[in-house]
Amino acid sequence: MARTTTTTATAAATTTTTSLEQANAAAAAAQIAFFRAIPWCAAHLAARPNLVIEQALSRRLGQGPGDTLVSRTLNTPETVGAYVVFYERPRASASSPAAGGAAASNTEQARPPVEEDPALAQPQGQSPSPSPSSSPNQNPTQPQPQNQPPPGLITQVQSLIALGPQLNGWPGICHGGVVATLLDEVMGQIFALNRAHGLLAPPPVMTAYLNTRFERPVRTGPGTGTGTGTGTGTGGGRHAEDGKGEGDGDLDGNGEGEGVVLVTARLVRNEGRKYWVEADVRGREGEVLATGEALFIMLREKL
């Protein structure tokens, strides 16, 4: 009987994992499609070598007790209805950490497939060409400037985020605390993604301070509609760990990108366990709406 029970439990766990992977993959695809239907967002997501587009790691279901603010509370059509990140794929592989890190954990390796143009993939054995935006610290053969991030790390992460009416402070204006949260969230994706690619050591990184400057009102939009049908909340499905929910499988279109912002985070400095990050929030015309600068500290490993 005990053996039968164990087998049943294992099968159930496998089914749940598969359902979560399918739900996360469907949610990612729906959100990418939502932004690609908005011309100015599509321009940022235009195919180019080594571009990775995916749902933020903190957005995925199955996180356990962590990241629930982003994956559940702010994952509804009228809060943050869609949220994707995009960045340049690092040159170092997960098996060769650039900063003394270990390979990605099983949870991080299980994230949904990323969106990448196969036509732009480099031929086998050919080194990828550096992009125009690559900084000198991406080339390990060059001398390393003092206090610059280690070579090989992902040093810039960008995100598109759709802000709904339930984030209002003033009518039609996103609450300032939410804006600060968005800055902190996207900054944190730098560390999450580097760890997922095996480029950063396992100890977690936490925010020591975040200074925010509000330049212009960050406007909210109408929300993203009726549902992805995944239970993620990205389109109105009820939160369901089995990946099932109510919805029609699509996000309502928002052709002008009302309430959509571009958040860019850059890792600019590193001293031991300390990492300095800058970020900004921009509107569809490229206007700066808010900026932030933060210090993150990697916790010490337990002895």
CATH of the domain at 18: 3.10.129.10
CA distance 20 to 28: 12
Q: Please check whether residue 129 lies inside any domain of the structure.
A: no
- Work out the number of other CB atoms within 10 angstroms of the CB of residue 98: 22
C-alpha distance from residue 212 to each of 74, 182, 292, 294 (Å):
20, 11, 4, 9
> Are the beta carbons of 126 and 37 closer than 8 angstroms?
no
Q: In this predicted model, which residue has the larger pLDDT, 126 or 266?
A: 266
**Nearest residue to 192 via CA among 27, 71, 76, 14:** 71
225 phi/psi in degrees, rounded to 5: 100, -145
Q: Please check whether residue 78 lies inside any domain of the structure.
A: yes
pLDDT at residue 65 in the model: 85
- Per-residue pLDDT for 167 more than 90? yes
pLDDT at residue 182 in the model: 98
Question: Tell me: the pLDDT tens digits for 214-259?
Answer: 999 999 999 887 443 333 433 333 333 333 333 334 666 566 789 9
pLDDT at residue 247 in the model: 38
**Nearest residue to 34 via CA among 213, 249, 220, 187:** 249
Domain containing 173: what range?
2-109+145-298
Q: Please check whether residue 283 lies inside any domain of the structure.
A: yes
CA distance 1 to 69: 41
Q: Please check whether residue 233 lies inside any domain of the structure.
A: yes
pLDDT at residue 277 in the model: 98
Q: Please check whether residue 136 lies inside any domain of the structure.
A: no
Question: Tell me: the pLDDT tens digits for 118-157?
Answer: 433 333 333 333 333 334 344 444 444 568 888 889 999 9
Q: Please check whether residue 120 lies inside any domain of the structure.
A: no
> Are the beta carbons of 299 and 203 closer than 8 angstroms?
yes
C-alpha distance from residue 148 to each of 96, 136, 143, 168 (Å):
20, 10, 11, 38
* CB contact burial 249-278 (16+ within 10 A = b; e otherwise): ebbbebeebebbbbbebbbbbbeeeebbbb
Q: How many domains does the chain have?
A: 1
Q: Please check whether residue 278 lies inside any domain of the structure.
A: yes
Mean pLDDT of 57-82: 91
Residue type, 39: P
pLDDT at residue 114 in the model: 57
CA distance 134 to 142: 13
> Are the beta carbons of 261 and 161 closer than 8 angstroms?
yes
- The pLDDT-based confidence of 1 (bands split at 50, 70, 90) is low
Q: In this predicted model, which residue has the larger pLDDT, 159 or 256?
A: 159
Q: Please check whether residue 130 lies inside any domain of the structure.
A: no
